[in-house]
Chain A
Amino acid sequence: MEIKDHGKWSMYWPRPVPSTAIPNAAFARRDEDDMDWYDYIHRGNYFKKDSIKVTVMFMDAFKKWVVLVAVREPDRIFPADQILLEIIDYEGDNPQEFFGRKSYNPETKTFSENKEF
C-alpha cells in the first residue's frame, strides 16, 4: 500500500483572519512548515486525484494512532491535532468502512488488520 505522509497538523488562530475565510473558521497548520490547511487544499495541488485522504489521531484509550476519517475529497476533512495520510493505491468503494477505526503505526507506515473499536 503506497502511503504518502502529509504531516502532523495543529490548530492555530491567524491574526488577522484572512479576508477570504469565513469569520469563524477553524484554522490548522502543518507542524513542520506552518503550511495553512486552507492554502493547502484551496490553492495547492498536493494530492493525487481520487486518492484517499486519511486522518489519524492518537487515542489515549489504546495508546495508538487511530483512523478517524478516510475520504477522497480533502475539503471534507480538518486535520487539526491529527496526522494526514494519503493512500495512493486504494481502489475500493468505501474507504471509511475499510480504514475507519483501524490503528496506524507511523514507524512502519502500516495499518492494523482489525479495528480498534
Chain B
Amino acid sequence: MADTITPNLALIKPEIGASADSWGNKLNGNFDILDLKSVRQTIQWTLVLGDDNPASGAGAFLIERWNNAGVKSGTPVTINRQTGDVALANNLTVNGSIFTNAFSSSSLTTNGGPITAGAITATTLNATTSITTPTYGGTNMALGGAISSNTVTANAITSNGALTVAGGIAANGALTTNSNVTINSAGSFGVGGNNRVMIQQAGDPTISFHSVGAFGTHFGMSSNGNFYMGGWSHSGVTYQFWTSRDFNYVPPSTATVDAKDNVLISDYVNRDTNLFNDYVARISTAENNRANGDTSLFNDYNNKLNDKISDGRLEYAGDHFRTQGSGMNEPIGGAVVTGLDIQAPTPHYQLRLRRMQLYKPNTGWFTVGAP
C-alpha cells in the first residue's frame, strides 16, 4: 500500500512498513502544514470554522476574542454560512472608500471619503462629504456634503450644503436649512436680504394655490413689479392687484377710526357700568341699613320706585242715552266715547263711555281727567 493524502490539508499518511528512510521528512512536512494552516486558537483569539457538518443549517464562521483573564469577551465578526452576510459586532473604521450594494449599521461616520452604496440603513449617519445611494432609511442624517438619493427617510436631516431631491420630501417636523432650497432648478426658496423669506425665479416668481378637485390658481410678481393672480382654473386669465402705487388715494387709517370708536364705546360702557355700579352700591347700602334696623333709605328708594306709574287701563264708565237735538254736552267729564248706537224711529243715541286710569304702586289706581 502506497502513501495516502488527507483530503483537507493534504497531509501525507506513510505506507505501513514502508518509508523507512523518508517518514521523518514526511512527518516534519505534515507538522509544517499544520503549523501553517491549523492555528485556529490562541490565548487571545479563536476561529470557529463552522460545525463540520455539511448538512448543517448553522455553521457560521466566527472570530472570537478573549480577555486578559482568559475569558471570551465577544464575537466581533460573524459570517453567516447560509447567506454569506458579514456582521460586525463593533465599530468599523475605513480610511478608504466603501463600495457596497447594501449597507446596514447602527452608526456610520466617514472621515472624509464619500459613501457610495446600493442602500443605506442606519440609526445615525454622519458624512463629512457626499453620500450616493438609491435608498436611505435612517433616524438621523448629518451631511457635510451633498446627498444624492432617490429616497431618503429619516427623522432628522441636517445639511450644511445643498440638498437636492428629485422626488418628494415628506417632513413631519421642521425642515431647517442654512442655505437655499433649490426646486427642480426652476426657482429657489430661501433667505433674502435682512433675513426675508425669498422666492426667486427667472421671469415671474410665482407660488400656486390648489384646492384639490375644486380650484387652482397662481400668485406672483411680474417682472414689472406688479402682483398678479390667475391662470390654471382661471383659464389663462390673470388679474392684477391694484395698490396705492396705481391710485393717488390714501384711505383713512382704520386704526385711527377704530381707536376713536373704541374710546367712545368704552366711554359709554364705562358710564353705564359706573351708573349701574352706583345703583348697586346704593341698593346694597339701603339693604344693609335695613338689616341693621334703619329702614329709612330702603323705604325712600322703595317709595320712589313705587311712585312711578306702572300700569294703565280704559275702565268702563257707563252707557249713556241721548236724543236727537238735546244739545251737546259731556255727561261724564273726562270720559271718551268708545261705542255708539243710533236707533230709530225717533233718533236717539246710545253711547259707551270709558275713563283712562293709571296705576301707581304706592297708592293705587287714579282716574285721568283733570282739565
Q: Are B332 and A81 interface neighbours, CB within 8 A?
A: yes
- Which of B87-95, B132-140, B153-161, B320-328 contacts its partner? B320-328
- Give bound CA distance, A77 to B360, whole Å: 16
Give a binary string over A63-74; 1 marks a CB under 8 Å from any B CB, 0 the rest: 000111101000
Q: Are A27 and B370 interface neighbours, CB within 8 A?
A: yes
- Which of B227-235, B238-246, B310-318 contacts its partner? B310-318
Total of A-B residue pairs, C-beta within 8 Å: 93
Contacts of B363 in A (CB 8 A): 20-21, 38, 42
- Choose among A26, A41, A61, A96 the residue that contacts B316 (Cβ–Cβ < 8 A): A96
Given known pairs A20-B360, A22-B358, A78-B355, the reply for A116 and B367 (CB within 8 Å) is no
Q: Are B350 and A117 interface neighbours, CB within 8 A?
A: yes
Q: Are B317 and A69 interface neighbours, CB within 8 A?
A: yes
Given known pairs A22-B309, A24-B368, A75-B365, the reply for A100 and B360 (CB within 8 Å) is no
Interface of B is mostly: strand
Contacts of A25 in B (CB 8 A): 366-370
B331 within 8 A of A: yes
A59 within 8 A of B: yes
Q: Are B333 and A26 interface neighbours, CB within 8 A?
A: yes
A11 within 8 A of B: yes
Q: Are A78 and B317 interface neighbours, CB within 8 A?
A: yes
A57 within 8 A of B: yes
Task: Give chain A's interface residue range (CB within 8 Å of chain B).
Answer: 35 or more
Docked complex: A26-49 residues within 8 A CB-CB of B: 26-27, 38, 41-42
Binding site for A on B (CB under 8 A): 307, 309, 315-323, 326, 331-334, 348, 350, 355, 357-358, 360, 362-371
Q: List 12 A-B contacts (CB under 8 A).
A: A13-B371, A20-B307, A20-B363, A26-B368, A57-B331, A61-B348, A68-B318, A71-B316, A75-B357, A76-B315, A100-B319, A117-B348
Binding site for B on A (CB under 8 A): 11, 13, 17, 20-27, 38, 41-42, 55, 57, 59-62, 66-69, 71, 75-78, 80-81, 96, 100-101, 116-117
Given contacts A61-B321, A101-B319, 11 further A-B contacts (CB under 8 A): A13-B370, A21-B366, A25-B368, A41-B364, A55-B318, A59-B320, A67-B318, A68-B318, A75-B364, A78-B369, A117-B319
